[in-house]
């Protein structure tokens, strides 16, 4: 029987690249995200790699919707072997002007949803004696940047949650690990490059090197494919001893 992966936020950016890599490796995939063309993305990738796919647009701000997402996935595929908590949002503001509703949204989507989804999937993983939970944190889970109070708090929280789940899952062959990327050139980041080029009066090339990748020693974006390869490695059956850890892919940012 094929292994089943549920990847939140898999109709865009990093999540989509992870989903493609898992489909390519023969996993059935539960796609999820708010993108309007989600059903088409899921169907196209399923057809291309001859794997079963399904799609949900559950809003991760709604805890009951997350419980339904897990139940729906188990109903459709019979099980969830791999849960990848990837969906995330960002908001940038000075702390004294940071709106509370933006703080609450970021904590809900980037942190609470990972807890609620993991809690909901836990009994079935325990029953199956197999589970791999992979949380997409960030280099901001171990380092801070100005104006990102909510995001940095949520991403640090994800690493704490990962450690606890790693400990609690050990006896049942459920592992939990975080991946902490530096900057990845997703649609989200491409928009930020354009905005910053305008704001700073620089070329997009200059923004990338001088502003965005300032803290990375390697002045290159982290390839989505490398994140997907690490996720595949962590998802393997024989990766059972690897748990509770945070894997940094950040071009040397946190080496400083
Ligand atoms: P993205 O905007 O391309 O994708 C985010 C996905 O999350 C989308 O599918 C979106 O629909 C989904 N999503 C957002 N809010 C949601 C909600 N309320 N309910 C359901 N789905 C929701 O972003 P990305 O750059 O691919 O980011 C993916 C993850 O990687 C995030 O957790 C992000 O924090 C993390 N990350 C990104 C970078 C980067 O440079 N791009 C770096 C480090 C970590």
- Average of per-residue pLDDT across 111-120: 99
Has residue 70 got a pLDDT over 90? yes
Has residue 235 got a pLDDT over 90? yes
Give the CA dihedral 185, 229, 91, 119, nearest 10 degrees. Answer: 160
Token digits of residue 233:
């490695």
Eight-class DSSP state of 83: E
Residue 201 has a pLDDT of: 87
112-126 burial, b for 16+ CB within 10 Å, e for fewer?
bbbbbbbebbbebbb
Residue 88 CA to ligand 1 center (angstroms) comes to 4
Token digits of residue 239:
């990766």
- Average of per-residue pLDDT across 86-111: 96
Mean pLDDT of all residues belonging to the chain: 96
- Average of per-residue pLDDT across 123-144: 98
The answer to whether 147 is a known catalytic residue is no
- Average of per-residue pLDDT across 45-58: 98
Q: In the chain, what are the domains? A: 4-182+223-249 (3.40.50.720), 183-221 (no CATH)
For residue 134, give the H/E element and its range: strand 131-136
Give the atom of ligand 1 at the shortest distance from the alpha carbon of 14: 26
Has residue 210 got a pLDDT over 90? no
Residue range 17-37, pLDDT digits in tens:
999 999 999 999 999 999 999
- Average of per-residue pLDDT across 82-93: 95
Catalytic residue among 27, 151, 183, 247: 151
Residue range 146-198, pLDDT digits in tens:
989 999 999 999 999 999 999 999 999 999 999 999 999 998 788 778 888 88
Cβ atoms of residues 73 and 29 within 8 Å? no
Has residue 114 got a pLDDT over 90? yes
Has residue 66 got a pLDDT over 90? yes
Residue 201 CA to ligand 1 center (angstroms) comes to 27
Q: Identify the residues whose C-beta falls under 6 Å from ligand 1.
A: 9, 11-15, 33-35, 59-61, 86-89, 109-110, 136, 138, 181, 183-184, 186-189
Distance CA 76, CA 189 (A): 34
Residue 216 has a pLDDT of: 96
Residue 207 has a pLDDT of: 85
pTM: 0.97
Give the atom of ligand 1 at the shortest distance from the alpha carbon of 57: 20
Residue 13 has a pLDDT of: 97
Residue 171 CA to ligand 1 center (angstroms) comes to 31
Residue 114 CA to ligand 1 center (angstroms) comes to 13
Candidate from 14, 70, 139 with most ligand 1 atoms within 8 A of CB, to mutate? 14
Residue 198 has a pLDDT of: 84
Residue 209 has a pLDDT of: 86
Distance CA 160, CA 255 (A): 20
- Of the two residues 199 and 134, the one the predictor is more confident about is 134
Residue 82: beta bridge partners? 5, 132
């Amino acid at each position: 029987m094929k292994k089943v992966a549920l990847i939140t936020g898999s109709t865009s950016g990093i999540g989509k690249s992870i989903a493609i890599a898992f489909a390519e490796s023969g996993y059935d995939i539960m796609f999820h995200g708010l993108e309007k063309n989600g059903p088409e993305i899921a169907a196209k990738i399923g057809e291309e790699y001859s794997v079963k796919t399904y799609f949900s647009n559950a809003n991760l701000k709604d805890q009951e919707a997350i419980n339904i997402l897990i139940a729906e996935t188990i109903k459709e595929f019979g099980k969830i072997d791999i849960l990848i908590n990837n969906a995330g949002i960002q908001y940038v503001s000075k702390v004294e002007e940071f709106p509370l509703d933006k703080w609450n949204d970021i904590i809900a989507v980037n942190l609470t949803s990972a807890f609620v989804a993991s809690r909901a999937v836990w009994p079935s993983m325990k029953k199956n004696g197999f589970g791999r939970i992979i949380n997409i944190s960030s280099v901001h889970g171990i380092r801070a940047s100005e104006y990102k109070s909510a995001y940095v708090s949520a991403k640090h929280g994800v690493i704490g949650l990962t450690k606890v789940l790693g400990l609690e899952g050990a006896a049942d062959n459920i592992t939990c690990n975080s991946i902490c990327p530096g900057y990845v050139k997703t649609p989200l980041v491409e928009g930020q490059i354009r905005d910053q080029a305008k704001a700073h009066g620089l070329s997009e090339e200059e923004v990338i090197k001088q502003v965005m990748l300032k803290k990375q020693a390697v002045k290159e974006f982290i390839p989505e494919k490398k994140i997907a390869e690490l996720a595949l490695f962590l998802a393997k059956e024989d990766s059972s001893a690897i748990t509770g850890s945070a894997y940094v892919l950040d071009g040397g940012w946190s080496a400083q």
